[in-house]
Amino acid sequence: MIDWLDPLLLARWQFGLTTLYHFLFVPLTIGMSLLVAILQTAWYNTGKVHYLHLTRLFGKIFLINFAIGVVTGITQEFQFGMNWSEYSRFVGDVFGAPLAMEGLFAFFLEATFIGVWIFGWDKLSARMHLASIWLTTAAVSLSAYFIIAANSWMQNPVGYELNPETGRAELNDIGAVLFNPIALNAFPHTIVASIMFAGTVMVAVAAYHLSKGNHIDTMRSALKFGAFANIIAFAGTFLTGDGLSLAMTIAQPMKMAAAEALYETTSSASFSIFSWGTPDGSSEIFSLRIPALLSLLSTHTLNGTVEGLNDLQAQYSDLYGVGDYMPIIWLTYWSFRWMIGLGIFAALVSTAVLWVTRAGRRQAAWIWKVAMWTAPIPMLASLVGWTFAEMGRQPWLVFGLMKTEDGVSPYVTGWEVLTSLVVFTLIYGVLAVIEYRLIIKAAKEGPDEWAELGDRKTIDPAKLATVY
Amino acid sequence: MDLNYLWFGIVGFLFIGYFILDGFDFGVGMSLPFVTRNDQERRVVINTIGPIWDLNETWVIVGGASLFAAFPLWYATLFSGFYLALLLILASLILRGVSFEYRHKGHGAKWTGLFDTFIMIGSVVPALLWGVAFANIIQGVPIDADGNFTGNLLTLLNPYGLLGGVVTLALFFMHGLIYLALKTTGEIRERARSLATIVGLVAVPVGGGWLLWTVLQHVTIAHVGFIIAFAGLTALALVAAIIMVRLGRDGSAFIAMALTIAFALLTILSALFPNVMPSSTDPSYSLTIENASSSPYTLTVMTWVAAFAMPLVLAYQGWTFWVFRKRVTREMIPVS
């Protein structure tokens, strides 16, 4: 019988829900800020007005998304202390530093220059205004770096020592924390995956207008730009994912074994694209396998040995004491596959879009529909990817140092956590509906001003003024 | 000097910055039903903080993160202990933040009215609860030997804490009204000025009473002189702000009001020193600047970070305020 007022269970659900919810918005913010900055640069350099239209249109979508990303980020910052006070005490010395650095170096910068960019169209020179979107883009990515460095420390704790007097982890090498091999690989992986999402959103918006026969030339250019961004970013996601799985195999072999549900240590291990097991998961009925691929992913050799779950379980029991050290295998197995599969699917759709519309071809009603429905696919890939990264670390909160069950706030009651879980679910649910509608509305309307604005030299900045 | 003490100052500085900056955002949000008569006027009022509310609010995120990095035990006890109060603050900040963005993107007056209500509630609740929280921190709350808060939400709702909440509510309301006087023209400015005087006349006895209560609670500690001095400066700055509003000197009034908030926070910090969260269960369980802080290595790293980042932050944020220095007028709001 599950205890529905168990603070640990509720706190875990709350962290999972609020974090994944926050991450509905983060990838679009990261990816779209870059694409908008590139579009505005194209306008600045060429003076062609359709680049301005696209900058304004996708800038609007970026902003609707940005506001909710910021406010749900505050929940993240507070939540460690509220629900995970034992964790905060144990790791604050190490984990707090990258969070504070994020605030001081990155978050201030993005919060300031996003305001300057939105409201500064008629108040700054074109050059300064362009600089403000690039500063926002840079700050958004820098922000992601520090957060991922903090998360990577939970995956692969480095640069610390345990203080025997206080029982707390204490920082002794900030360089090791900031240049954690997991962070160095997870950061570019997150960024390029985010660009994929921005790319499919841009393609979807362009496909909608092209299907209606609106703004053909402008939207063709958006379609191409979005699709290329998506495909290039997919190549990046593939390469960085490869680097990340190598680093992960070294730091967290259990997670890699769980990704494949590999129970026995195997050399020249195959990778299953699909498998069907007995209900208890102990043996396999059917699977479709690529020989040696798991060894290739984990060791970069075809005959490398990949440690299996059972061996690792035995090792960890010796090392950390008797216990269950396996994550939930079906969850890690399938989230890993869905992440890869969804990413590949999005890139294939972008390729198809470019192929079907090559050299000005337009008779392609079906491709517009497919392109529109593909918009959220990379976002789903990011969500299952993070689900894999976080659930694959279980039962650990900090790998090898602290279990999840030991990190929860001891005096916060189940009722309190339940209250906040309900409050967040309600607010977040309503906001998600509003958010979705507003983005769809903005996308369908297109830019506010399709009227002739003139080129960069003759444009009247007052016409671009923005107010709430 | 130990870096712990420096970081007590830095965290204090970040919260002073937060309360001065987001303080007027709260006040502006609260003033909506009082100084505006129609949607165009409401848009004028909201646009006075449009470009900057986000950067203002970021100060609390950076303040919280710096607390986590420099005083993890303080962060852990405070955030898990003041659970429901912080939940209310969070929900308010979330609703208020998205409302600025959403209110004019909808369909008709009902939609806009709903989000205006969120802006007002989202401003009143944090303005009140921050005061309740800080008053309780200095008064002391039940904390056990392991540093865990053992009370609940009702523990925080005591007369001294609630009065502290009313004080911050009044101060932020007045701060927002003075900011509006500085950033608008015509009727809105006149209404903001008259209301600021009225709120000011309420704030003086309420704030004065709370300051006196604070001093009386701490008469036995050695550095009570500092507490009295800061409390006195708070009261002086508040009176100066009221006089400046009456004289129509909006800029001076705003500076005086910012100083009022800064001195009020300094009163709180000096009453707290050298504790960060005194325990009402047993003084020996209190969290202090010494026992709640990070290791010297972490504090050294963070000191370099702050020394490098803070001047830059202050410079570009100052520049931003300068870019948006003009008063917001009705003519700037397009007819919708």
What DSSP assignment string belongs to A27-70?
Answer: HHHHHHHHHHHHHHHHHHHH--HHHHHHHHHHHHHHHHHHHHHH
Q: In the prediction, which pLDDT does B34 show?
A: 94
User: What's the pLDDT tens digit per position in A99-140?
Assistant: 999 999 999 999 999 999 999 988 898 899 999 999 999 999
CA distances B49 to A119, B89, B321, Å, are 11, 20, 10
Cβ distance B58 to A467 less than 8 Å, yes or no, reads no
| Chain A residue closest in CA terms to B62 | A103
Which of B69, B94, B334 is facing A71, going by the closest CB pair? B94
Residue A6 inside a domain? The answer is: no
- In this prediction, residues A280-309 reach a mean pLDDT of 78
A429 touches chain B (CB under 8 A): no
Tell me the pLDDT of chain B averaged across its residues: 92
| Chain B residue closest in CA terms to A72 | B94
Q: How big is the A-B interface in CB pairs under 8 Å?
A: 223
Which of B68, B84, B147 is facing A96, going by the closest CB pair? B68
pLDDT beyond 70 at A282: no
Q: In the prediction, which pLDDT does B63 show?
A: 93
Longest CA pairwise span in chain B (Å)? 63
Q: In the prediction, which pLDDT does B234 show?
A: 95
pLDDT beyond 70 at A168: yes
**Other Cβ atoms closer than 10 A to A460:** 10
Contacts (Cβ under 8 Å, ≥6 apart) of B79: A78, A80, A81, A82, A85, A88, B64, B86
Identify the weakest region by mean pLDDT among A264-273, A384-393, B147-156, B266-275.
Answer: A264-273
Q: How many domains, chain A?
A: 1
Cβ distance A115 to B66 less than 8 Å, yes or no, reads no
Residue B192 inside a domain? The answer is: yes
* Token pair in block for residue A395: 């039962």
Q: In the prediction, which pLDDT does A297 show?
A: 81
3-state DSSP assignment of residue A272 = strand
B315 touches chain A (CB under 8 A): no
Return the amino acid letter for B202.
V
Identify the weakest region by mean pLDDT among A271-280, A288-297, A332-341.
Answer: A271-280
Closest-CA distance, B14 to chain A, in angstroms, reads: 11
Residues of B in contact with A67 (CB under 8 A): 54, 97-98, 100-101
Distance CA B131, CA B129 (A): 5
Residues of B in contact with A86 (CB under 8 A): 76
pLDDT beyond 90 at A158: yes
Return the amino acid letter for A37.
A
Question: How far does Cα B67 stand from its chain's mean position?
Answer: 16
Residue A9 inside a domain? The answer is: no
Nearest 5°: the CA angle B99, A108, A382 is: 70
Which of B97, B104, B316 is facing A70, going by the closest CB pair? B97
Residues of B in contact with A89 (CB under 8 A): 72-73, 76, 147
Binding-face residues of B in 70-89 toward A, CB within 8 A: 70-73, 75-81, 83-84, 86-87
Residues of B in contact with A77 (CB under 8 A): 61, 64-65, 68
Distance CA B247, CA B250 (A): 8
User: What's the pLDDT tens digit per position in B324-334?
Assistant: 998 888 888 87
Given a contact cutoff of 8 angstroms between Cβ atoms, the answer to whether A407 and A91 are in contact is: no
Q: In the prediction, which pLDDT does B111 show?
A: 87
Which of B75, B83, B101 is facing A67, going by the closest CB pair? B101
Residues of B in contact with A442 (CB under 8 A): 105
Residue B210 inside a domain? The answer is: yes
A76 touches chain B (CB under 8 A): no
Cβ distance B98 to A68 less than 8 Å, yes or no, reads yes
- In this prediction, residues A423-449 reach a mean pLDDT of 86
3-state per-residue secondary structure call for B291-304: CCCCCHHHHHHHHH
Q: In the prediction, which pLDDT does A280 show?
A: 55
Distance CA A153, CA A318 (A): 23
Closest-CA distance, A284 to chain B, in angstroms, reads: 45
Contacts (Cβ under 8 Å, ≥6 apart) of B69: A92, A96, A97, A99, A100, B294, B298, B302
Distance CA B297, CA B310 (A): 20
Q: In the prediction, which pLDDT does A190 show?
A: 95
User: What's the pLDDT tens digit per position in A308-349?
Assistant: 888 888 889 888 888 888 888 888 888 988 999 999 998 998
Closest-CA distance, B206 to chain A, in angstroms, reads: 31
A132 touches chain B (CB under 8 A): no
Kindly provide the b/e burial profile for residues A18-40, where b requires at least 16 CB atoms within 10 angstroms of the residue's own CB.
Answer: bbebbbbbbbbbbbbbbbbbbbb
A411 touches chain B (CB under 8 A): yes
A126 touches chain B (CB under 8 A): no
Contacts (Cβ under 8 Å, ≥6 apart) of B117: none
Distance CA A230, CA A201 (A): 10
Element (H, E) at A277: strand A271-277
Residue B336 inside a domain? The answer is: no
Residue A437 inside a domain? The answer is: yes
Closest-CA distance, B219 to chain A, in angstroms, reads: 33
Q: In the prediction, which pLDDT does B10 show?
A: 95
Cβ distance A78 to B64 less than 8 Å, yes or no, reads yes
Binding-face residues of A in 188-217 toward B, CB within 8 A: none
Cβ distance B68 to A80 less than 8 Å, yes or no, reads yes
Given a contact cutoff of 8 angstroms between Cβ atoms, the answer to whether B103 and B335 are in contact is: no
- In this prediction, residues B261-268 reach a mean pLDDT of 96
* Token pair in block for residue B305: 């970070």
Higher pLDDT, B105 or A386: A386
Q: In which domain, by residue range, is A399 found?
A: 27-265+307-446
Identify the weakest region by mean pLDDT among A195-199, A320-324, B24-28, B233-237.
Answer: A320-324
Cβ distance A112 to B70 less than 8 Å, yes or no, reads no
- In this prediction, residues B229-256 reach a mean pLDDT of 95
Distance CA A158, CA A384 (A): 26
User: What's the pLDDT tens digit per position in A256-273?
Assistant: 888 888 888 888 888 877
CA distances B90 to A103, B60, B61, B106, Å, are 18, 11, 11, 24
pLDDT beyond 90 at A5: no
Share of chain A above pLDDT 90, in %: 37
Cβ distance A82 to B79 less than 8 Å, yes or no, reads yes
Residue B334 inside a domain? The answer is: no
Binding-face residues of B in 283-312 toward A, CB within 8 A: 294-295, 297-298, 301-302, 305-306, 309-310
B121 touches chain A (CB under 8 A): no
pLDDT beyond 90 at B130: yes
- In this prediction, residues B311-319 reach a mean pLDDT of 94
Cβ distance B51 to A409 less than 8 Å, yes or no, reads no
B62 touches chain A (CB under 8 A): yes
User: What's the pLDDT tens digit per position in B33-48?
Assistant: 999 999 889 999 999 9
Which of B58, B294, B320 is facing A92, going by the closest CB pair? B294
Closest-CA distance, A152 to chain B, in angstroms, reads: 17
Phi, psi of A275 (to 5 degrees): -150, 155
* Token pair in block for residue B22: 């987001």
Parallel, antiparallel or unpaired: strands A160-163 and A168-171: antiparallel
Phi, psi of A267 (to 5 degrees): -100, 155
Distance CA B215, CA B224 (A): 7
Tell me the pLDDT of chain A averaged across its residues: 87
Residue B332 inside a domain? The answer is: no
Q: How many domains, chain B?
A: 1
Q: In the prediction, which pLDDT does B102 show?
A: 85
Binding-face residues of B in 198-237 toward A, CB within 8 A: none
| Chain B residue closest in CA terms to A129 | B323
Return the percent helix, strand and coil in chain A, to nearest 5: 70, 5, 20
Q: Quote the ipTM score.
A: 0.90
Q: How confident is the model at residue A283 (pLDDT cuts 50, 70, 90)?
A: low
Q: How confident is the model at residue B335 (pLDDT cuts 50, 70, 90)?
A: low
Q: In which domain, by residue range, is B7 found?
A: 3-327
Identify the weakest region by mean pLDDT among A26-30, A270-274, A405-409.
Answer: A270-274
Residues of A in contact with B98 (CB under 8 A): 67-68, 71, 431, 434
Binding-face residues of A in 147-166 toward B, CB within 8 A: 163
A461 touches chain B (CB under 8 A): no
- In this prediction, residues A14-19 reach a mean pLDDT of 90
| Chain B residue closest in CA terms to A418 | B84
Binding-face residues of A in 433-452 toward B, CB within 8 A: 434, 438, 441-442
Q: In the prediction, which pLDDT does A453 show?
A: 59
Name the residue among B319, B297, B328 with its Cα closest to residue B70. B297
- In this prediction, residues A139-167 reach a mean pLDDT of 93
Best to test chain A binding among B14, B298, B333 (most A CBs inside 10 Å): B298
- In this prediction, residues A156-182 reach a mean pLDDT of 92
Which of B58, B86, B94 is facing A427, going by the closest CB pair? B94
Given a contact cutoff of 8 angstroms between Cβ atoms, the answer to whether A56 and A449 are in contact is: yes
Given a contact cutoff of 8 angstroms between Cβ atoms, the answer to whether A259 and A208 are in contact is: no
Phi, psi of A271 (to 5 degrees): -120, 125
Contacts (Cβ under 8 Å, ≥6 apart) of B170: B199, B202, B203, B206, B207
Q: In the prediction, which pLDDT does A218 show?
A: 86
Distance CA A430, CA B233 (A): 45
- In this prediction, residues B197-226 reach a mean pLDDT of 92
A105 DSSP 8-state letter: I
Q: In the prediction, which pLDDT does B42 show?
A: 92
Closest-CA distance, A217 to chain B, in angstroms, reads: 27
Question: How far does Cα B59 stand from its chain's mean position?
Answer: 10
Residues of B in contact with A134 (CB under 8 A): none
Residue A138 inside a domain? The answer is: yes
Given a contact cutoff of 8 angstroms between Cβ atoms, the answer to whether B28 and B45 are in contact is: yes
Given a contact cutoff of 8 angstroms between Cβ atoms, the answer to whether A121 and A129 are in contact is: yes
Share of chain B above pLDDT 90, in %: 78
3-state per-residue secondary structure call for B111-128: HHHHHHHHHHHHHHHHHH
Closest-CA distance, B6 to chain A, in angstroms, reads: 16
Given a contact cutoff of 8 angstroms between Cβ atoms, the answer to whether B147 and B73 are in contact is: yes
Q: How confident is the model at residue B24 (pLDDT cuts 50, 70, 90)?
A: very high
